[in-house]
Amino acid sequence: MFATRRRRPLLGLDITPSSVKLIELSAHRGGYRVEAFAAEACPPETISDSTIVDAEAVGDAIRRAVRRSGSRTREAAIALSGDSAITRVIEMPRHLRGAELEERLELEAERRIPFPMEEVSFDFDVVGPSSRHPDMHDVLIVAARTENVEQRQAALEAAGLLARVVDIEAFAVEKGCRLLSHQMPGAGAGKVVAVVDAGATTTRFCVLDDLKVSYARDVAFGGNRLNEDVMRKYGMGFEGACRARERGSLPDDYRTGVLAPFIDAMAEHVGRLLEIYRSSDGASPERILICGGCAKLPGIADALASHTGIAAAVGNPLGEMRLAPRAEGAHAAAPTLLTACGLALRGFD
């Protein structure tokens, strides 16, 4: 969305309230190679509810990530959160092309988007023939407030980068999920698989049917809840709690008194999301893959499998990709790179 299509390397840049994660991929022997990788923490309160409130501070975090990665690529793909965008699939006559199609779609967008069009960034993609009417095409339209797009562009500009693509997180995740096919039964072909992307503030539950997202739902629960539990239990500030967890320097009762209850709560949330999905007559997934920062918690996949009765594993979108020397460390961070990978793949569209 919001992109000029071209085949050239892009930095996949996942900007979240807790961090910026950057990855650059190149085509390699029928697959991909990781050319560059880095992650940097975002300063507290620079992003609020997916809105960048301090573009300079976020830009500084991006600049540090680019410098650490060693990448010389200065064009990036970034994403807006789902609650920042409006998506609709509408039918259009198949004979419409070019400017005529754009004109008709803008008229439809004016009717369907609850903002003045002068305040909106708008794009569309012809999905394919309509399943209901053979003389019509399904067309995906996407719109977001221009100020939300410009906030992210400003953060990249502060880091010396150009936002070549502004995507939607859900679409980037779907694209990234293709890189998980090596962990799916039958490589995902004709299979139903659930992907849980558990980040700092939000857990996204997606169901893929034949490698296409057929269902998605978010819940406001993520790794920051664990940090808050640590803060309450041990009287720490937020940054201190994060550092202590990373260094493994918490007291001996952390695993049983804080971590285990959090993992149980995460499994319960995923179980509820699974039941909501099943209530819509969805076919039960054959496997659950968990990604995001919470995927690195010890025992999380076993807890999901135990709670749901479905085989579960930690997702690895990098699979067996080779790493360029400067991309050392990418495999260790792989579960957190699903969105960034999906964005980097836009360079191959």
pLDDT of 269-296, one tens digit each?
999 999 999 998 888 999 999 999 999 9
| Residues above pLDDT 90, as percent of the chain | 60
> DSSP character for 258?
I
Question: Does 182 have pLDDT greater than 70?
Answer: yes
Every domain of the chain and the residues it spans: 11-82+149-177+321-348, 83-146, 180-314
Q: Strand pairing partners for 291? A: 197
CA distance 17 to 243: 17
Domains 11-82+149-177+321-348 and 83-146 share a fold: no
Question: What are the helix (H) ranges across the chain?
Answer: 55-69, 98-112, 146-158, 169-177, 223-234, 238-247, 254, 260-279, 300-308, 330-333, 338-344
State residue 7's pLDDT score.
58
Question: What are the helix (H) ranges across 92-183?
Answer: 98-112, 146-158, 169-177
Fold of domain 11-82+149-177+321-348: Nucleotidyltransferase; domain 5 (3.30.420)
- Specify the 3-state DSSP secondary structure of 131: coil
Question: Does 49 have pLDDT greater than 80?
Answer: no
Which numeric CATH code is attached to 83-146?
3.30.1490.300
| Contact in structure between 137 and 92 (CB atoms under 8 Å) | yes
Q: Strand pairing partners for 143? A: 86, 122
pLDDT tens per residue, range 187-245: 999 999 999 999 888 899 999 999 988 899 989 999 999 999 999 999 998 888 888 99
Which numeric CATH code is attached to 180-314?
3.30.420.40
